[in-house]
A = this chain, B = another copy of it.
Amino acid sequence: MLTAETSLAMRDFISVVGESNVNTNAADLRAAERGTFPTGHRIPAIVRPANRDEVQECLRTANRHRCSVYPISSGRNWGYGSRVPAADGCVLLDLGRMNRIVDFNEELGYVTVEPGVTQAQLQAFLAEHKSRLWMDSTGASPDCSVIGNTVERGFGHTPYGDHFAHSCAYEVVLPSGDILDTGFGRFAAASAAPLYRWGVGPVLDGLFSQSNFGIVTRMTIWLMPAPEYFQAYYFQCPEPDQLPAIIDALRPLRMNGTIRSSSHIGNDYKVLSALEQYPWKATGGRTPLEGDLLLNMRRELRIGAWNGSGALYGTRAQVKEARRLITQALKGKAARLQFLDDKRLEMAERFAGIYQMLTGWNLKRTLAVLRPVYGLMKGIPTDRPLASTYWRKRMPPPESMDPDRDGCGLLWCSPVAPNDGRHAKLITTIASEIILRHGFEPMISLTVLTDRTLSCIVSLGYDRDVAGEDDRAMACYRELLDRLALQGYYSYRLSVGAMKSMGEPGTYHKLLEALKRTLDPNDVLAPGRYVAPTAPARR
């Protein structure tokens, strides 16, 4: 399976990182080639550099042998391709060993990390230093790389939810092996380097986000000071058509700074998949889940057609005023608006049993879902949402979850829409119709990531071990991307299988290609990842 060139390259990779850090074990390679949807790209080896110098040498080796490499940080790009390269035959450059936290400043609120630093590690680091700073976490997993998620422009749930917008001072190894520092980082001892994004002259950070122009080996991440007081809010819409009014009611509060973090609104399927697995028994094995059965489950589990959450950060008086404004805005538009703080959450957990006796409602189960979401709004990573990737599996989520290994089918489609009720309705209606028609459940969330936009995440969950399911899911996914694009909704991020959705050939692609030729003339770094060497064909 190794080409002659790759075999020669392997010898050099070994001399760079040592024999124990070049893995050609067939089982390990097959595992790395397996994501949560079908991909055909093979990986001839996994190389694990220990530091920046080794990354530089690896890229020089790759150029010498015209051997492509594909960097991963933690490789948990689930739903978008996991560890699987965007092209066939790439050596996986696993940056997991580079996991140092190299700088930390409590007063100015930042850390500087390497690509192997995970959300859990950063969380533990902050706890260990008794820091009053909060990180922002994605819901994906505690083991996700902080840098990996940031360069992919992933997001979380605190006021620092837009990760890319809260990072700076990238140290980048270019395909040539040269080191580039973005922002003021190129100047010796520039005191504002970790603090000011733009530097002087052209701003280059964006070139290294969603691209294959360089490997980010270090990055500064800003952290928010813990607020004096924190309060989460939750609400529901019993009816699907209440969504537009909710979006329009919350927009002014987001735009005027009353709501500083990303409100998150999930549909019934989304919440259901967090609480339960597919009701195989009740449906008699039929899919998709629909109609009365869905309604009954919604009622039983007290789930709305739409379910919102968000949080308030500030002094007690600031939170109180925000709460008043939210209550006023949602009046008559949402049901079950509730505010929760640490004290109330603790109370609820303590008295859940009694509550169930009195009301019959299994509050414990709700709290089990609610607690991690509550934590995410404080930036605490959780692996709870990962369980929902087992939605369609016939086995329960195992202790140690691994959707790639366990054949969990997962495809994420992530179109961005204006923060406007009309668009919220249209985008979710289109997505739901397509997914149900293909026999799956549309799990949809809308995150008010920025003042003006909704990040819509449509997740397509299925069981890869069911024959034919991979194909059906891919057909559904492609229709989703195409139909949404036709309506003007484009994804903020693409899976390794959907890089053709970068658009029609044009000046943008010509420019990217020219940049790629300039920076990586041998096309050795992550070929096909967002930037293809030739203009993509019409989909």
Contact = CB atoms under 8 A, between A and B. Distances in A.
Interface stretch (A65-73, A296-304, A416-424): A416-424
Interface string A383-402: 00000000000000000000
A174 interface: yes
Interface in A160-187: 164, 174, 178-181, 184, 186-187
A86 interface: no
Number of copies: 2
Contact of A202 (B209, B313, B419, B490): B209
A506 B198 CA distance: 18
A514 B519 contact: yes
Interface string A314-333: 11011001001100000000
A357 B191 CA distance: 50
Contact of A314 (B164, B257, B515): B257
Contact of A192 (B180, B192, B208, B453): B453
Nearest to A324: B317
A351 to B, nearest CB: 33
Given A201-B210, A256-B225, A489-B191, A451 B506 contact: no
A207 interface: yes
Contacts of A531: 201-202
A179 B222 CA distance: 35
Contact of A514 (B164, B186, B207, B518): B518
Interface stretch (A16-24, A33-41, A102-110, A263-271): A102-110
A511 interface: yes
A251 B227 CA distance: 14
A59 B91 CA distance: 43
A412 interface: no
Given A211-B202, A451-B109, A417 B192 contact: yes
Contacts of A198: 153, 164, 206, 209-210, 492
A213 interface: yes
A3 interface: no
A174 B315 contact: no
Given A184-B416, A257-B314, A419-B195, A200 B493 contact: yes
Given A186-B507, A201-B210, 16 more contacts: A108-B419, A179-B507, A192-B416, A195-B418, A195-B419, A196-B450, A201-B530, A202-B210, A204-B511, A206-B206, A222-B451, A222-B452, A224-B256, A225-B256, A257-B260, A317-B317
- Sorted nearest first, the 5 A-B pairs with minimum C-beta distance are A203-B206, A195-B452, A191-B488, A202-B211, A317-B321
